[in-house]
Structure 1
Amino acid sequence: MTAPAAPAAPLVLTKRRIWLIFSALMAGMLLSSLDQTIVSTALPTIVGKLGGVEHQAWVTTAYLLATTLVMPIYGKLGDVLGRRRLFLAAIAIFTVGSIGAAVTTSFWEFITFRAVQGLGGGGLMILSQAIIADIVPAKERGKYMGPLGALFGISAVAGPLLGGFFVDHLTWEWCFYINIPVGIAAFAIAYVTLTLPNKRPEKRIDVAGIVTLSLATTGLVFFTDFGGNDSYGWGSPITWLIFAGMAAAATAFVAIERRAQDPIIPLSLFRSRIFVNATAIGFVLGLGMFAALAFLPTFLQMSSGTSAASSGLLMLPLMGGLMLTSIASGLLITKTGQYRIYPITGTAITAVALIWMTTLTAATPLWVICVMMAIFGAGLGLVMQVIVLIVQNSVPPAQIGTATSTNNYFREVGASLGVAIFGSLFSSNLAGKLQDVFTANGASAAQASAAGASLDPAAMKALPQPVQDGIVNAYADSLAPVFWYLVPFVLIAFVLALFIKQIKLSDVSGMVARGEAITEDPAPAAAAS
Structure 2
Amino acid sequence: MSSDDHEQPGGAEPAIETFVPPAWRELLGREHLGAAIVLAGGVLVGAINIYLAASLLPTAVAELGGASFYAWNMTIYLVAMVIATMLTGRFLSRWGNVGAYLLGFATFTAGSLTCAVSPEMALLLVSRGVQGLGAGLLSGLGFAVIRAALPARLWTRGTALMSAMYGVGNFAGPAIGGLFAQVGSWRLAFAAMAVIGAVCGAIVPRVLPRSERGSTRVPVPVVSLLMSTAAAGAVSVAGVVAGTPAKAAGIGVALLLMAGFVVHERRSELRVFPRTTYQRGSSLKWVYLTLGLLAFGVAVESFLPLFGQRLAGLPPLVAGFFAAAISLGWSVTQIGSSSVTGHRAMRRLCVLGPVLLAAGLLVQGLLQREDTPIWLVLVWVPVLFVAGAGIGLAYPHLSVAAMSSTQDPEEGGRAAAAIATVTSLSIAFGTAVAGVLLNLGGASMLDAARNVLFGLAVICAIGALSAHAANRTSLTEPADRAPLPRGA
- Coarse TM-score class (shorter-chain normalised): 0.7 to 0.9
Pick from 433, 436, 440: which aligns with 1:424?
436
What does 1:77-476 align with in structure 2 at a 5 Å threshold? 77-78=91-92, 82-202=96-216, 204-207=217-220, 209=221, 211-231=222-242, 234=245, 246=257, 250=261, 253-254=264-265, 258-260=268-270, 263-271=271-279, 273-287=282-296, 289-333=297-341, 339-359=346-366, 360-362=368-370, 363=372, 365-398=376-409, 399-429=411-441, 432-433=442-443, 474-476=444-446
| 1:487 matched to 2:460 | no
Following superposition, the deviation at residue 81 of structure 1 comes to 5.0
Following the alignment from structure 1 to structure 2, what is the Cα–Cα distance between the partners of residues 307 and 352?
Answer: 27
Following superposition, the deviation at residue 267 of structure 1 comes to 3.4
Following the alignment from structure 2 to structure 1, what is the Cα–Cα distance between the partners of residues 196 and 240?
Answer: 35
**Which piece of structure 1 moves more, 239-248 or 177-186?**
239-248
Following the alignment from structure 1 to structure 2, what is the Cα–Cα distance between the partners of residues 228 and 21?
Answer: 36
Q: Contact 1:142–1:329 at 8 Å: present in 2 too?
A: no
Q: Which amino acid aligns with 2:431?
A: V
What does 1:25-44 align with in structure 2 at a 5 Å threshold? 25-44=39-58
Number of aligned residue pairs = 448
Instruction: Give the 3-state SS of the residue equivalent to 2:303 in structure 1.
Output: helix
Instruction: Give the 3-state SS of the residue equivalent to 1:404 in structure 2.
Output: helix
Following superposition, the deviation at residue 139 of structure 1 comes to 4.2
Following the alignment from structure 2 to structure 1, what is the Cα–Cα distance between the partners of residues 313 and 251?
Answer: 39
- Calculate the TM-score normalised by the size of structure 1: 0.76
Change (3 A) 1:338 1:236: closer
Q: Which amino acid aligns with 1:340?
A: R
Instruction: Give the 3-state SS of the residue equivalent to 1:197 in structure 2.
Output: coil
Structure 1 runs not aligned, ≥5 long: 1-12, 434-473, 510-523, 525-529
Following the alignment from structure 1 to structure 2, what is the Cα–Cα distance between the partners of residues 264 and 407?
Answer: 11
Structure 2 runs not aligned, ≥5 long: 1-26, 476-481
Q: Contact 1:343–1:382 at 8 Å: present in 2 too?
A: yes
Which structure has the higher relative contact order (CA within 8 Å, separation 6+)?
Answer: 2
Q: Contact 1:46–1:172 at 8 Å: present in 2 too?
A: yes
Following superposition, the deviation at residue 348 of structure 1 comes to 1.5
Corresponding residue number in structure 2 for 1:497: 467
Q: Contact 2:116–2:191 at 8 Å: present in 1 too?
A: yes
Instruction: Give the 3-state SS of the residue equivalent to 1:82 in structure 2.
Output: helix
Which protein has the larger Cα radius of gyration, Structure 1 or Structure 2?
A: 1
Q: Contact 1:274–1:390 at 8 Å: present in 2 too?
A: no
Instruction: Give the 3-state SS of the residue equivalent to 1:83 in structure 2.
Output: helix
Instruction: Give the 3-state SS of the residue equivalent to 1:383 in structure 2.
Output: helix
Following superposition, the deviation at residue 76 of structure 1 comes to 4.6
- Give percent identity, aligned residues only: 22
Following the alignment from structure 1 to structure 2, what is the Cα–Cα distance between the partners of residues 15 and 201?
Answer: 35
Change (3 A) 1:81 1:176: closer
Following the alignment from structure 1 to structure 2, what is the Cα–Cα distance between the partners of residues 410 and 152?
Answer: 13
Instruction: Give the 3-state SS of the residue equivalent to 2:356 in structure 1.
Output: helix
Change (3 A) 1:49 1:214: farther
Following superposition, the deviation at residue 198 of structure 1 comes to 2.8
Following superposition, the deviation at residue 232 of structure 1 comes to 6.8
Change (3 A) 1:98 1:246: same
Q: Which amino acid aligns with 1:475?
A: M
Following superposition, the deviation at residue 476 of structure 1 comes to 2.6
Deviations 1:189-220 (A, max 9, x none): 11222232232233x4223x2x3233212321
Following superposition, the deviation at residue 51 of structure 1 comes to 1.7
Following superposition, the deviation at residue 409 of structure 1 comes to 2.1
Q: Contact 2:106–2:197 at 8 Å: present in 1 too?
A: yes
Following the alignment from structure 1 to structure 2, what is the Cα–Cα distance between the partners of residues 380 and 491?
Answer: 12
Following superposition, the deviation at residue 381 of structure 1 comes to 0.8
